[in-house]
Structure 1
Amino acid sequence: MEFERKRHNHTHMNIAPLVDVVFLLLLFLMLTSHLIQEPAIKVRLPESKTAEAKDETIKTVSITKDGKIYFMGKRVDLENLQMVIREDLKDLEKDFLRIKSDRDANVGLLVNVIDEVRLSGVKNFSIVTERR
């Protein structure tokens, strides 16, 4: 006498395609997050032991090794810097400005830029350095 076996229909869900999609999304996000950079003005920052890293969108004045001045990626003369800062910043009392100077840039030019920033009315500014 033969007994009939009960057949159980098991439904299996293949999650391999789901895992593939998740890994592709993760890879995409990891790669694109590293592509977000500041304007490509070549500046080697001086080093500091007390430097802090901030990821805010802040108005920036850059000074290159050869003495060129840039405000938000656009070339500016020292004489026009004060006017350009006043036009761009909305609230000179509250807005923040950072100064990025190449470590090999002329210190006298850096001091002149700081003077122009102060004369423009900006109260909050800092000089950017790299942590040692």
Structure 2
Amino acid sequence: MKFQRRSSEPVSLNLTPLIDVVFLLLIFFMVSTTFDQSSELDLQLPEAVNGQSSDQATSLKVEVPESGPIYLNGEAVEDLAQSLERFLEAETVPERVVVIADERARHGQVTQVLDALAGAGLSQVSFQTRYAP
């Protein structure tokens, strides 16, 4: 008995819907992703193994880079003492001050920052570091 062969069409896979879904997922993840920018300065923070996490919101940040001006809440300042006076006149006294000093910053510059903070009557000062497990 002789069977007649059926002519079969070649199987093809339509990839257009798959590509559409992949692009939609790509767009979704690009839009929903947030980036943490803790500081716009390139600071190398010193590492600390012992310490505690700082979950409280601070109202005053003083950044001391390796070189260049000191930053008060993200703005470069020439004279920290005068800038602190203006800040305290415009705002309420902050509960805490965080000093973010680059590990390569001069000790004298950090000491000047601490002196200006003490002169402004700010005594709740802490230092930010990187955690080194």
TM-score normalised to structure 2 length: 0.65
Contact 2:66–2:105 (8 Å) recurs in 1: yes
Counterpart for residue 85 of structure 2: 86
- Alignment CA distance shift 1:62-1:105 (3 Å): same
- 1:52-103 superposed Cα distances (whole Å, 9 cap, x missing partner): 33342431111111143111111112xx2122123224343x5211111100
- Amino acid in the other structure paired with 2:75: K
Alignment of 1:31 with 2:30, yes or no, is: no
Q: Percentage identity across aligned positions?
A: 23
Counterpart for residue 63 of structure 2: 62
- Alignment CA distance shift 1:85-1:95 (3 Å): farther
Counterpart for residue 52 of structure 1: 52
In the TM superposition, what is the alpha-carbon distance from 1:29 to its structure 2 partner?
8.2
Contact 2:61–2:99 (8 Å) recurs in 1: yes
Counterpart for residue 98 of structure 1: 98
RMSD of aligned C-alpha atoms?
A: 2.6
Unaligned runs of 5+ in 1: 1-19
Structure 1 segments of 4 or more deviating over 6 A?
A: none
Alignment of 1:128 with 2:128, yes or no, is: yes
Contact 2:58–2:98 (8 Å) recurs in 1: no
Q: How many equivalent pairs are there?
A: 106
**Equivalents in 1 of 2:36, 2:116: separation in Å?**
30
**Equivalents in 1 of 2:85, 2:50: separation in Å?**
30
Unaligned runs of 5+ in 2: 1-20
In the TM superposition, what is the alpha-carbon distance from 1:41 to its structure 2 partner?
1.1
Contact 1:45–1:101 (8 Å) recurs in 2: yes
- 1:1-60 superposed Cα distances (whole Å, 9 cap, x missing partner): xxxxxxxxxxxxxxxxxxx9xxx7x9578612xx24234111111111223333424311
- Alignment CA distance shift 1:123-1:57 (3 Å): closer
Contact 2:58–2:96 (8 Å) recurs in 1: no
**Equivalents in 2 of 1:53, 1:41: separation in Å?**
22
Counterpart for residue 119 of structure 1: 119
TM-score normalised to structure 1 length: 0.65
- Alignment CA distance shift 1:124-1:57 (3 Å): closer
